[in-house]
Amino acid sequence: MLSREEYIRKSFNNHLFWLRIMKEHAIFIQSAIPPSQRQLAQEAERFKLQFEHLLASAIIQSSGWVSPEVLLANELFTRYTDEAERITQQYTGIQINRNLTNLEADIEPWTAYSNATGRKEQEVSALNRNVLSQLEAFSHFKNSLWNSQVSCRIMTMLYTAVLQHVLHEAEEYIKTVTYLQNRQDPGGDTLENRNFWNNQMSEHAKAVRGLLDPSEAEMFVMADRYGKMFDSLIQDPARDPLEPAIELSEFKETVTRGRIECKIQGIILPLFIDHLLREANHYIRLLQS
Ligand SMILES: [Fe+2]
Ligand SMILES: [Fe+2]
């Protein structure tokens, strides 16, 4: 059973990470929809705006409530995020609220003096309920997109496996908030979290492998190696995934920097690879908690 203080802190820790992840999924989906499916792109645009709105609320409400280790983990934004957003907006024409990234830099960490009032608890509970209802809608949208594509009724420029991957992340976020609403700890380094994130890490490596330019042979081999590394961890979750996760994070950082500096080619939006980098950093933090 979480104390009131833990409930508030863990809710914000999770929202600051996951709300950005959700709004970026909306951006990636929108960027990958062909002109024939304009309505779907508009729907993705609405989800982006709604998640940006929720993220703005979470940022404002969370100051003084975020665990210091979360602020230090490079999972909320990285040193590349602002620039990755600028370039991605330029490439896609999709508006990205970069002000949120600047605001995130000023979030104050939780201290023993942060006062867990009943009113703050109610505020957090309302935010959690809002997030949950938005997540239900978004996972419904992702599921129907995946369904349409897997049955070949539409084709987007996202792999079918990537559509399913982002659906799984929405479901994981729903699970996390549901735990919190039941005053249960969503956990750090648990078998359940390892199973989920080892799978995500493997899929990231394979997605990057497939999005690199055919001329990037060396990077392709590295991405493939990480995919296999995490496949073997999926088979054996008792093995410590911390070192492989750190290595994969470093690889993603190299690709992020390479895309921003135009030293790596491929059909990878800079914000897409920065997003994968943050998810690896989030996993590393869970493994270290
Ligand atoms: Fe994601
Ligand atoms: Fe992911």
Query: Distance between CA 269 and CA 28 in Å, rounded?
Result: 9
Phi-psi region of 8 (alpha: psi -120 to 50; beta: other; left: phi over 0): alpha
DSSP calls for 68-126? HHHHTTT-S--TTHHHHHHHHHHHH-----THHHHHHTTPPBP-TT----HHHHHHHHH
Q: Which domain holds residue 127?
A: 1-66+107-184
Ligand 1 centre distance from Cα of residue 72 (Å): 20
Q: Calculate how far, in angstroms, residue 276's C-alpha sits from the geometric centre of ligand 1.
A: 6
Q: Within this chain, do residues 240 and 287 fall inside the same structural domain, yes or no?
A: yes
pLDDT given for residue 5 in this prediction: 96
What separation in angstroms does the CA of 48 have from each of 28, 182, 272? 10, 28, 15
- Report how far residue 151's alpha carbon sits from residue 99's, in angstroms, rounded to the nearest whole number: 39
% of the chain with per-residue pLDDT over 70: 100
Query: Is 159 within a domain?
Result: yes
Question: Residue 185 — very low, low, confident or very high, per pLDDT cuts 50/70/90?
Answer: very high
- Does residue 271 come out as left (phi exceeding 0), alpha (psi in the -120 to 50 range) or beta? alpha
Taking the centre of ligand 1 as the mean of its atom positions, its distance from the CA of residue 279, in whole angstroms, is 7
166 CA distance to ligand 2 middle (Å): 6
Residues 62 and 150 in one domain: yes
pLDDT greater than 90 at residue 55: yes
Percent of the chain having pLDDT more than 90?
A: 98
192 and 180 within one domain: no
Asked if 220 and 274 sit in the same domain, the reply is yes
Full-model pTM? 0.98
Pick from 145, 166, 184: which residue ends a domain?
184
- Cα of 158 vs centre of ligand 2, distance in Å, is 13
The CATH number of the domain holding residue 61 is 1.20.1260.120
Specify if 270 maps to a domain: yes
Q: How far is the CA of 273 from the centre of ligand 1 (A)?
A: 10
Of 184, 208, 235, which closes a domain? 184
49: helix, coil or strand?
helix
Total number of domains in the chain = 2
Q: Is residue 232 part of a domain?
A: yes
Q: How far apart are CA 90 and CA 84, in angstroms?
A: 10
Same domain for 259 and 238: yes
Neighbours of ion ligand 1 (CB under 5 A): 21, 169
CA of 26 to the centre of ligand 2 (A): 13
Instruction: Mark whether 132 and 256 lie in a shared domain.
Output: no
Residue 256 is assigned to a structural domain of this protein: yes
The domain boundary residue, chosen from 184, 205, 238? 184
192 pLDDT band (50/70/90 cuts)? very high
CA 27/CA 35 separation, integer angstroms: 15
Same domain, 20 and 158: yes
Nearest-CA neighbor of 164 among 142, 138, 136? Answer: 142
Residue range 110-121, pLDDT digits in tens: 998 889 999 999
**208 and 156, same domain (yes or no):** no
Q: Taking residues 52-69, report their average pLDDT.
A: 97
Same structural domain, 2 and 34:
yes
Q: Is residue 84 part of a domain?
A: no
CA of 214 to the centre of ligand 1 (A): 24
Statement to judge: residues 152 and 20 lie in one domain? yes
Q: Is the dihedral of CA 70, 73, 79, 80 positive or negative?
A: negative
Q: How far is the CA of 287 from the centre of ligand 2 (A)?
A: 16
Which ligand neighbours the alpha carbon of 161 most closely?
2
| Mean pLDDT of all residues belonging to the chain | 97
Ligand sitting nearest the alpha carbon of 200:
2
CA distance 27 to 118: 36
> Contact, 90 vs 55, CB < 8 A?
no
81 domain residue, yes or no: no
Q: Would you state the structure tokens that stand for residue 218, as one six-digit string?
A: 């060396």
Contact between residue 19 and residue 131 where contact means Cβ atoms under 8 Å apart: yes
Quick one: average pLDDT of 99-119?
Answer: 94
Looking at the structure, do residues 143 and 208 belong to the same domain, yes or no? no
Q: Is residue 7 part of a domain?
A: yes
Please tell me whether residues 283 and 232 are part of one structural domain.
Answer: yes
Reading the block at residue 80, the tokens are 């590349």
| Per-residue pLDDT tens over the stretch 259-275 | 999 999 999 999 999 99
